[in-house]
Amino acid sequence: MHLSLNRSSLQFYFQIRSIRYYFNKYKLLRESKNSRLIMALIFTNWCIPKRIIIILLCISGFIISYADRSNIAIAIVYMAKEFNWDHSIQGYVLSAFYIGYFTTIIIGGVLADKFGGKRVLSVAAAAWTLFTLLTPISARINIYCLILCRICLGIGEGPTYSCIQSIISKWFPPEEQSRAVALLCVSIFIGMIVAMPISNLLGSSQFGWESIFWVFAVIGFIWSVIWHFYGKSDPRDYPGISKEELEWILKNKSTVCSEDNFGNYPSGSREYITIIDHDHSENDMLLSKDQISSGPRYAQKIPWKLIFSHREVWAILLCQFFNAWGYFTMLSWLPIFYYEYFHVDIHLIGFYTALPYLSYVIMGSIAGYICDYSIHQLKIRVLIVRRSANIIASLGISMILLSITYLAKTSVEGLLMITIGFALYSFKNSSYLVSHLDIAPRYAGAISGLVITCGMIPSIFGVALTGWIVEVTNDWNIIWRICSLCYIIGMVFYVSWSCGYYSE
């Protein structure tokens, strides 16, 4: 009886202490008007590294942005039937997004490098969410309002990729950058995996195709609120980050180009490995251990002349230019190809489109780990890893596209071939799309902005031209041959020009 009483007393005592502890936290939370303190209270006791929180937020934002841009590929099947649009008009609607997207990519990257990615990404998310919501209204008015709305949506989404690249360059050490970029790139297709089936279900529901845009606009708004409170541009500005994690990020960034770690990278003079502005050197942005609590520093100027003087940069830009033709053609026209060539039921198009993207996500994530492990554990030269990944991606997708209309006799066979092609194509994420972090991490936002801008030029014309070609010839073989040729040309430029700065 006495023992039972003591146990009850102890339990009651600890319950009172627990209630008092959480009540004190609640009082602090109510009295505080500082979001940094709120974040510290919430995240201080978490064991999750803060860079994981940041990359999850970035990936989820990127997923939503791609869902907002790609849901039109499903919605336009319903819209074309309702408004009686031919292939040419569909091409104009699909390509309008890229006109606006083209205008803000570099600006977004430069602003992110100068002022931090959080603010720029917050404004971008608000803009793309608004014009996603306005898409059904503009379509009901007339085709010109819809095209204008799609252009504005592109303007809002333009800074997204370069902003996140800038954030990754500050939050992740070199040992983790390939997988971080790979996860970012595969999140594109996670957005499509989410968008396509959901769009199909919403478009076929009693709410009609308009509900596709309403639902995704609400999701974008919720993400924007979360990012406002928990997103940060730089690890030194994040409340509650552990000293060990911060030192791991900064120490590894400062030693990546040092002589001690130089053996991990291709031989050659250091200036051929990292683009360095001698007025603002790469290591200047890093704080010493006794200054580790200081605020973040950003690039004060972008050395455009220095950047454009490196052939490695041009190898990345040209590879992206030619890859973008095939990439955006498949992104915009693959559902229509399924519908018209294989006669897939309209209610199943979203699921057919999502499966290849799922294979891209899985294989792309694995490829990122393989490349990081090959470089930093097996000590394989960066050049060999990047070039090998590019060759696998380019040749893999090209062979599939060239043979699909000859070998695939049913829709299931076509789906299987495209799924394999997308899995191989995912290796590009660990190739030229991460090379700018090898040569110029300080200017990652600006260079990634250049890269995406180069991709917008063929996407604007390629997507619209595809509609015209199909309308005139009714031959999908021509489309896939053009895409395959572009992939191979891009591979040749990257493999031949990149070696100029990684050679012995």
Q: Give the pLDDT confidence of 188-225 residue by residue, as tens digits.
A: 777 777 777 888 888 888 888 999 999 999 999 999 99
Above 70 in pLDDT, residue 29? no
Handedness of CA 122, 124, 129, 134 (dihedral sign): positive
Q: What angle do CA 467, 473, 474 make, to 5 degrees?
A: 75
- Is 165 part of a structural domain of the chain? yes
- Is 307 part of a structural domain of the chain? yes
Above 50 in pLDDT, residue 478? yes
Q: What is the pLDDT of residues 61-114, one digit of tens each?
A: 988 998 888 888 888 888 988 888 888 888 889 888 888 888 888 888 888 878
What amino acid occupies position 110? Answer: V
- Is 204 part of a structural domain of the chain? yes
Q: What is the pLDDT of residues 242-253, one digit of tens each?
A: 788 788 777 655
Question: pTM here?
Answer: 0.61
More confident residue, 17 or 408: 408
**Residue 202 falls in which region: left (phi positive, over 0), alpha (psi -120 to 50) or beta:** alpha
| d(C-alpha 362, C-alpha 358), whole Å | 6
Of all helices (H) and strands (E), which one includes residue 283? none
| d(C-alpha 125, C-alpha 253), whole Å | 29
Whether residue 74 contacts residue 334, with contact meaning beta carbons closer than 8 Å, is answered with: no
| d(C-alpha 27, C-alpha 20), whole Å | 10
Q: Give the range of the structural domain holding residue 126, as residue numbers without chain letter.
A: 50-234+300-501
Whether residue 299 contacts residue 114, with contact meaning beta carbons closer than 8 Å, is answered with: yes
Q: Which of 142, 124, 126 is nearest to 79 (CA)?
A: 142
pLDDT at 136: 93
Handedness of CA 26, 28, 32, 37 (dihedral sign): negative
Above 60 in pLDDT, residue 460? yes
Tokens read off for 51: 């860079």
- Is 387 part of a structural domain of the chain? yes
Q: How confident is the model at residue 47 (pLDDT cuts 50, 70, 90)?
A: low
Q: What is the pLDDT of residues 416-428, one digit of tens each?
A: 999 999 999 989 8
Q: How confident is the model at residue 258 (pLDDT cuts 50, 70, 90)?
A: very low
Which residues does residue 280 pair with via DSSP β-bridges, in sequence order?
A: 277
Q: What is the pLDDT of residues 118-146, one digit of tens each?
A: 888 999 999 999 999 999 999 999 999 99
CA 379 to chain centroid: 27
pLDDT at 26: 46
Domain count, the chain: 1
List the single range of 268-277, 336-345, 370-379 with lowest mean pLDDT.
Answer: 268-277
List the single range of 74-88, 437-451, 462-476 with lowest mean pLDDT.
Answer: 437-451
Task: Report the CATH number at residue 176.
Answer: 1.20.1250.20
